[in-house]
Amino acid sequence: MKQEIKFSLLYRDMWQSSGKYVPRADQLEQIAPVIVEMGCFARVETNGGASEQVNLLYGENPNKSVRTFTKPFNKAGIQTHMLDRGLNGIRMYPVPADVRKLMYKVKKAQGVDITRIFCGLNDVRNIIPSIKYAKEGGMIPQAALCITYSPVHTVDYYVDIATTLIEAGAEEICLKDMAGIGRPYSNGQIVKKIKDRFPNIIVQYHGHSGPGFSVASMLEVAKAGVDYIDVAMEPLSWGMIHPDVITIQAMLRDAGFSVPDINMEAYMEANRLTQSFMDDFLGYFIDPSNKVMTSLLVGCGLPGGMMGSMMSDLKGMHNAINMALRQNNKPEVSLNNLVVQLFQEVEYVWPKLGYPPLVTPFSQYVKNIALMNIFSIAKGESRFSNIDKDSLNMITGKMGKLPGALAPEIIRIVEEKGLEFYTGDPQDPYPDALEQYKKEIIDNNWEFGADNEELFELAMHDRQYRDYKSGIAKQRFLQELEAAKEKAGAPKFVSRPVVEVPNFDVAKVMELYPKAQPVQATCNGTVIWQYDIEDKSTAPVVGSEFKKGDIICFIEAYYGLEPVKALSDGKIVQTEAAQGTKVRKNQILAFLN
């Protein structure tokens, strides 16, 4: 009997690994039934990570998105799962224990079956409580091993962690190869040794495609007995994201594994819908480099999921670095050269920082230190002159135990700053906080939401939730989107009020305006009239027989040329078109006031 391999679609991670935002609830509602129809996915990642924070950032309710997206999968019997940062919940910094406990109850009620719990440091103290909380909330706890490649991250290191987590109640194990730099043979050995020790435990492999190892890793873990493999689909596969399901299916089938068929008609429709979401607004936040694989990642080990934010940071610092170089009579660097410098600097500082696995948020901390080092060197200062507070918390152990030893110069910096190394439980400094958030909801006359989901969002993302409720988030996002569109050279669109199309006497029109010409409308074959004028004041706005708007079709400079797309039931139903659009035959030109 052939060994069966099941696929999990990383739809949430596809977007977050490529860009800054994720689809809206209405878009998720469109694509979920099509994903079901593809027939090849046993699981779909629906939320978690930064996705819900991102919803708030563009003024949308994340609870609506989660419930909307999970519903069709729940109905079809496809398991749903989320990404969970353990101590950090679904944000970038530690979360009080009572908020962590609430998360699992809320997400289960919203239709999420499995939570993938990871700690960026592989500190089991940050994972084990979440295993317990997830079970209490009715979810399946899947404990993750953050895979990287270093002298301390050996096969036995990972198998020992997996053993501890399984004995603590984890029902599944995930190899979270977030940068895709886990070596294929080693990944296979980790799976094999876990399966040898725990034959009935479910093991899932998650590997980004950035440095190019992940396809080989998927074959190796399959041979070792893996149960599920995470995949993506076009137009958001490969690059810094995940291999495409079509390729992995073909590879595994050739190797003799039992894999599901793919409904290609549904695949192409999912492709089309995803592309339409990109064209709508999401594509404006995707850096083109995220679609490119690079072996430069083999050395630095940075994950694909942070490439969007990394490129944004680099572009923001590029001018400042070049200014510092000019002031010190040094040659400037191009953005491409700066990317290479950053990769090399990460590779240099990573061992000195104790080899934290490069996954959120620790990948960002290491990248921040490396970037500030480049800036400091450009200014003629020494490395590690500027280390941010969050990075110092990582270094001093406030977020968990680092896998390796700190370099002497890093220890010296901590001592010079008068800081102490923390060896206690990372959860202890963060007391319960739900009561204060309950009071805030009551004071503001807000809703607690079904299953306390609004309370949870406030407690998990308080600043972003307040901005969402006030409307500031939506306003800020629309401004950001407009700026992104302008930078990309996207056409500008303008909207005008809907107006009534009046009935008028054609003979009188022809008598008063002998140069008027009939134009065929775009709906119902209606013939209306246009009259060329250069001065808006010459429009027929006076006289007893005509009133403003009686003749609605003009070419005039006040609004520019705006083709009206349709007439229906005596009304202009769409008056939205690109400014400056050239007029083509049979388009209607509308004078609207």
| CA angle in degrees (0–180, nearest 5) for 7-278-58 | 100
Calculate mean pLDDT across residues 90-115: 97
Closest CA to 335 of 303, 287, 285: 287
- Quote the CA–CA distance of 313 and 509 in Å, as a whole number: 62
103-107, 179-183, 392-396, 517-521: lowest mean pLDDT where? 517-521
Torsion of CA 213, 218, 224, 229, to 10 degrees: 140
Please name the helix (run of DSSP H) or strand (run of DSSP E) that holds residue 21, with its range, or none.
Answer: none
The pLDDT value recorded for residue 582 is 37
For 297-416, CATH gives 1.10.472
CB 356 within 8 A of CB 403: yes
Greater model confidence, 257 or 482: 257
Q: Give the phi and the psi of residue 141 in degrees, each rounded to 5.
A: -85, 115
The pLDDT value recorded for residue 315 is 83
pLDDT higher than 70, residue 551: no
- Quote the CA–CA distance of 384 and 413 in Å, as a whole number: 8
The pLDDT value recorded for residue 538 is 42
pLDDT higher than 90, residue 425: yes
pLDDT higher than 50, residue 219: yes
- Quote the CA–CA distance of 418 and 415 in Å, as a whole number: 5
The pLDDT value recorded for residue 303 is 79
The pLDDT value recorded for residue 489 is 84
Q: Could you tell me what percent of the chain has a pLDDT over 70?
A: 82
pLDDT higher than 60, residue 542: no
| Burial of 441: CB neighbours in 10 Å, binned 0-12, 13-18, 19+ | middle
Left (φ > 0), alpha (ψ -120 to 50) or beta: where does 126 sit? alpha
Q: Give the phi and the psi of residue 133 in degrees, each rounded to 5.
A: -65, -40
The pLDDT value recorded for residue 530 is 43
Greater model confidence, 370 or 524: 370
- Quote the CA–CA distance of 367 and 300 in Å, as a whole number: 10
Tally of helices (H runs) and strands (E runs) in the chain: 22, 17
Radius of gyration of the chain (CA): 29
The pLDDT value recorded for residue 197 is 98
**Alpha-carbon separation of residue 579 from 149, 566, 583 (angstroms):** 53, 17, 11
pLDDT higher than 70, residue 556: no
The pLDDT value recorded for residue 533 is 41
- Quote the CA–CA distance of 117 and 173 in Å, as a whole number: 9
The single residue listed with the structure tokens 């908020």 is 99
**Alpha-carbon separation of residue 536 from 410, 433, 508, 533, 541 (angstroms):** 71, 62, 21, 7, 10
| Burial of 288: CB neighbours in 10 Å, binned 0-12, 13-18, 19+ | exposed
| pLDDT tens-digit readout, 128-145 | 999 999 999 999 999 999
**Cβ contacts of 507 within 8 Å, gap of 6 or more:** none
**Cβ contacts of 336 within 8 Å, gap of 6 or more:** none
- Quote the CA–CA distance of 50 and 146 in Å, as a whole number: 17
**Cβ contacts of 108 within 8 Å, gap of 6 or more:** 137, 138, 139
pLDDT higher than 90, residue 164: yes
The pLDDT value recorded for residue 570 is 36
Q: Give the phi and the psi of residue 172 in degrees, each rounded to 5.
A: -145, 160
- Quote the CA–CA distance of 364 and 342 in Å, as a whole number: 12
114-118, 375-379, 534-538, 551-555: lowest mean pLDDT where? 551-555
- Quote the CA–CA distance of 73 and 81 in Å, as a whole number: 11
pLDDT higher than 70, residue 18: yes
pLDDT higher than 90, residue 560: no
Please name the helix (run of DSSP H) or strand (run of DSSP E) that holds residue 80, with its range, or none.
Answer: strand 79-84
Q: At 500, is the pLDDT very low, low, confident or very high (cuts 50, 70, 90)?
A: very low
Calculate mean pLDDT across residues 182-191: 98
Report the chain's mean pLDDT, rounded to a whole number. 85
Query: What is the pairing mode between strands 114-117 and 553-555?
Result: unpaired
247-261, 371-385, 479-493: lowest mean pLDDT where? 479-493
| CA angle in degrees (0–180, nearest 5) for 50-53-59 | 140
Query: What is the pairing mode between strands 576-578 and 493-495?
Result: antiparallel
- Quote the CA–CA distance of 61 and 24 in Å, as a whole number: 9
- Sorted by where each begins, the domain ranges of the chain are 6-285, 297-416, 494-589
CB 110 within 8 A of CB 67: yes
Q: At 65, is the pLDDT very low, low, confident or very high (cuts 50, 70, 90)?
A: very high
Beta strands in 227-374 (DSSP E): 228-231
The pTM score is 0.81
Selecting from 3.20.20.190, 3.30.70.890, 3.20.20.70, 3.40.50.1450, what CATH number does the domain 6-285 have?
Answer: 3.20.20.70
| pLDDT tens-digit readout, 434-469 | 999 999 999 999 999 999 999 999 999 999 999 999
DSSP 500: B
Closest CA to 277 of 236, 326, 307: 236
pLDDT higher than 50, residue 70: yes
The single residue listed with the structure tokens 């050996």 is 154
The pLDDT value recorded for residue 311 is 74
**Cβ contacts of 245 within 8 Å, gap of 6 or more:** 7, 9, 40, 41, 231, 232, 233, 237, 262, 267
236-250, 308-322, 384-398: lowest mean pLDDT where? 308-322
pLDDT higher than 80, residue 509: no
85-99, 246-260, 290-304, 329-343: lowest mean pLDDT where? 290-304
Length of the chain: 593
The pLDDT value recorded for residue 503 is 45
Contacts by 321-330 with C-beta closer than 8 Å and gap 24+? 321/374, 321/375, 321/378, 324/375, 324/378, 324/379, 325/378, 327/379, 328/378, 328/379, 328/380, 330/378
- Quote the CA–CA distance of 500 and 528 in Å, as a whole number: 13
The pLDDT value recorded for residue 292 is 87
Q: Give the phi and the psi of residue 206 in degrees, each rounded to 5.
A: -130, 115
| pLDDT tens-digit readout, 315-368 | 888 888 989 899 999 999 988 888 889 889 999 999 999 999 988 888 889 999
**Cβ contacts of 458 within 8 Å, gap of 6 or more:** 437, 440, 441, 446, 465, 466
The pLDDT value recorded for residue 559 is 29
**Cβ contacts of 560 within 8 Å, gap of 6 or more:** 579, 580
| Burial of 42: CB neighbours in 10 Å, binned 0-12, 13-18, 19+ | middle
CB 455 within 8 A of CB 102: yes
pLDDT higher than 50, residue 547: no
- Quote the CA–CA distance of 508 and 378 in Å, as a whole number: 77
Greatest mean pLDDT among 228-237, 502-511, 551-560 lies in: 228-237
